[in-house]
Amino acid sequence: MTVREGTEHLWSALKEVNDPEFPISLVDMGLVYDIRREGGRVEVDLTFTAMGCPAMEFILEDVRERLLQEPDVDEVHINIVWSPPWTADRMTEEGREQMRMWGVVV
């Protein structure tokens, strides 16, 4: 995960958006692959733990809504990406710690 210059606050914003299945942020789950910004237009590369994720629509809406709350964001475009596939290795240490608190070993 590389944070591009000028997108730090967008990553922080997405730290507030949780995976609906576990109260862990999408960023700590490692589901956000990239954020690019050009003026007020933001593009997010996002993956899911499974292709049949039943919460996909909710997550997309949560991401869009949260980013649009940032004063410098007018437009959000989300690319759903499947490559490379998500694995638990992509979780942050904070995310793993939270998982352990929920009784899940990763």
Q: Kindly tell me which of 12 and 87 has the beta carbon lying closer to other proteins.
A: 87
Q: Which amino acid belongs to residue 11?
A: W
Q: Which amino acid belongs to residue 83?
A: S
Q: Is 53 in the site for other proteins (CB under 8 A)?
A: yes
| Coil, strand or helix at 37 | strand
Choose one: 17-25, 34-42, 52-60, 61-69; the region binding other proteins (CB under 8 A).
Answer: 52-60
> Pattern of binders to other proteins over 1-40, x per CB under 8 A?
----------------------------------------
Residues 98 and 106: their CA atoms lie apart, in Å, by 10
Choose one: 11-19, 27-35, 53-61, 64-72; the region binding other proteins (CB under 8 A).
Answer: 53-61
| Contact present, 4 and 35 (Cβ < 8 Å) | yes
Q: Is 50 in the site for other proteins (CB under 8 A)?
A: yes
The pairing of beta strand 32-38 with beta strand 41-46? antiparallel
Residues 30 and 90: their CA atoms lie apart, in Å, by 5
Q: Is 84 in the site for other proteins (CB under 8 A)?
A: yes
Using CB under 8 A, list all residues that contact other proteins.
50-54, 56, 80-86
